[in-house]
């Protein structure tokens, strides 16, 4: 897997005018179903019981076609700094923002599904060069998972979470970061867990919002709130995870719709932003339309609806139940996240939890929902991690 640092090349994002025109034409010609049959008048979560409400989708499709500015997002990506390198014959895209601070620590941020590097563009600059001179600073690396965004699409099986974690160690080494910190949520949280558990010689410590406990844990000795978390997590996987089962078993089948229809792709992803954010009536209470469309348009223009879905085929329920993380760990459990594990259960895997937080607001996409809190919490968590490792 080793390759010289010279294999890292600058990259610029630029969709063709033809691709953008095709997107607008497809949006204009979209065939939509009739409206849902659940109550639609009163604001509230019941509007979403059958999925994305027709009225909400129509409004967002119109905005996507007539007002949304993809070029602005491309410019922001390029301003942060984009690069590509090849690891195990697969091209990996990543954002890389070096801090101006001499005391900065390398940090890798890993996204999940249906996220992308778009999750981090509002927080990278502040993490790299904070306005507060006393705040910790980081050399930030945010790679696109294999099959996502501008990373290549694997053409064989095998690119699961263990291989991705090993690739991230290789990537950081090529950038001159032999030792580094790691953060992630969703699949990024699982990969971050593997980084801490498998590569302690390289990983100084981790921060995660997805701290999966080993299977088989009981609710004995838990507080009332911790029992509620356990039940909510079980309910999610029993009753609200059909998307995961589909992508874990038949990613190719759903992939045709996700790559061929921008409206189908938008609805598939918007459904998760709506259900997994800390809101009551619409995801746009917490995340702007532009930020969600940045993410969806990145999937659309790179044709990665199917290839991104395959991470479930490769990795669903595959985290080693025996894996233990001995490096210092900071964990934040947001109240409206989809998986919430109590500290007594999480510490069965994470053996050195140095900071644990349960904020009052936030969901599955905290860097987009509560970006200021996210940055402050991540800094504090990583500062605690570094202090514990000294």
Residue of 358, 323, 305 lying closest to 192 (CA atoms): 323
Instruction: Pull the structure tokens for residue 388.
Output: 């514990």
Which domain does 305 fall in, by range?
A: 5-38+47-389
Residue of 148, 161, 246 lying closest to 196 (CA atoms): 161
Instruction: Pull the structure tokens for residue 99.
Output: 């801090």
Distance between CA atoms of 191 and 197, rounded to whole angstroms? 10
The pLDDT score that the predictor gives to residue 5 is: 63
Residues 6+ positions from 72 with CB-CB distance below 8 Å = none
Q: Which residue bears the tokens 């874990």?
A: 248
Asked if residue 71 has a cis previous peptide bond (ω within 30° of 0), the answer is: no
Q: Which residues of 165-199 are buried (b: 16+ CB within 10 A; e: fewer)?
A: bbbbbebbbbbebeebbbbbbbbbbbbbbbbbbbb
Distance between CA atoms of 101 and 104, rounded to whole angstroms? 5
**The domain spanning residue 181 has which CATH number?**
3.40.50.1820
Reduce the DSSP state of residue 305 to 3 states and report it: helix
The pLDDT score that the predictor gives to residue 216 is: 83
Contact (CB, 8 A) for 157 and 251: no
Mean pLDDT by 10 residues, the chain (390 residues): 74 97 98 91 82 96 98 98 98 98 98 98 98 96 98 98 98 98 98 98 98 87 93 95 97 98 98 96 96 98 98 96 98 97 96 98 98 98 94
* DSSP one-letter string for 110-139: E--SS--GGGGTTTHHHHHS-SSTTS--EE
The pLDDT score that the predictor gives to residue 323 is: 98
Q: Which residue bears the tokens 């029992």?
A: 227
The H or E element containing residue 180 is: strand 180-184
Q: Which residue bears the tokens 């032999």?
A: 178
Distance between CA atoms of 246 and 236, rounded to whole angstroms? 15
CA dihedral 112, 116, 117, 123 (to 10 degrees): -70
**Cα dist. 83→22, 108, 175 in Å?**
27, 14, 11
Residue of 113, 164, 90 lying closest to 312 (CA atoms): 113
**Regarding beta strands 203-208 and 329-332, do their DSSP bridges make them parallel or antiparallel, or are they unpaired?**
parallel
Q: How many domains does the chain have?
A: 1
Reduce the DSSP state of residue 39 to 3 states and report it: coil
Q: How far apart are the first and last CA of the chain?
A: 30
The pLDDT score that the predictor gives to residue 390 is: 78
Q: Model pTM?
A: 0.96
Residues 6+ positions from 339 with CB-CB distance below 8 Å = 210, 212, 233, 236
Instruction: Pull the structure tokens for residue 339.
Output: 């998986």
Distance between CA atoms of 288 and 352, rounded to whole angstroms? 37
Residues 6+ positions from 190 with CB-CB distance below 8 Å = 161, 184, 210, 212, 315, 319
DSSP 8-state symbol, 145: P
């Amino acid at each position: 897997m080793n390759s010289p640092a010279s294999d890292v090349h600058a990259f610029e994002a630029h969709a063709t005018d033809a691709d953008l025109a095709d997107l607008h034409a497809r949006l204009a010609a979209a065939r939509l179903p009739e409206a849902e049959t659940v109550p639609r008048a009163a604001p509230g979560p019941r509007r979403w019981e059958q999925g994305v409400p027709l009225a909400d989708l129509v409004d967002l499709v119109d905005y996507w076609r007539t007002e949304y500015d993809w070029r602005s997002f491309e410019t922001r990506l390029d301003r942060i700094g984009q690069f590509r390198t090849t690891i195990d014959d697969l091209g990996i895209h990543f954002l890389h923002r070096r801090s101006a601070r001499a005391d900065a620590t390398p940090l890798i941020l890993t996204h999940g599904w249906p996220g992308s590097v778009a999750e981090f563009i509002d927080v990278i600059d502040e993490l790299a060069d904070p306005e507060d001179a006393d705040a910790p600073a980081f050399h930030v690396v945010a790679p696109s998972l294999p099959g996502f965004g501008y990373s290549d699409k694997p053409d064989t099986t095998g690119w699961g979470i263990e291989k991705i974690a090993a690739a991230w160690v290789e990537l950081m080494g090529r950038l001159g970061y032999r030792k580094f910190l790691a953060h992630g949520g969703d699949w990024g949280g699982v990969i971050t867990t593997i980084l801490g558990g498998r590569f302690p010689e390289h990983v100084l410590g981790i921060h995660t919002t997805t701290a999966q406990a080993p299977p088989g844990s009981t609710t004995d000795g838990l507080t009332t709130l911790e029992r509620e978390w356990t039940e909510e997590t079980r309910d999610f996987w029993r009753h609200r995870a059909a998307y995961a089962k589909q992508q874990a078993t038949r990613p190719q089948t759903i992939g045709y719709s996700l790559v061929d229809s921008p409206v189908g792709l938008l609805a598939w992803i918007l459904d998760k932003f709506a259900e997994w954010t800390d809101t009551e009536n619409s995801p746009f209470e917490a995340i702007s339309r532009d930020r969600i469309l940045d993410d969806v348009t990145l999937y659309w223009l790179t044709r990665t609806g199917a290839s991104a879905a395959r991470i479930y085929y490769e990795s669903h329920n595959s985290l080693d139940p025996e894996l233990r993380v001995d490096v210092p760990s900071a964990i934040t459990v947001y109240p409206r996240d989809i998986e919430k594990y109590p500290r007594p259960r999480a510490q069965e895997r994470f053996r050195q939890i140095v900071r644990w937080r349960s904020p009052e607001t936030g969901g599955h996409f905290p860097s987009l929902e509560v970006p200021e809190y996210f940055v402050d919490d991540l800094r504090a968590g990583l500062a605690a991690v570094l202090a514990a490792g000294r």
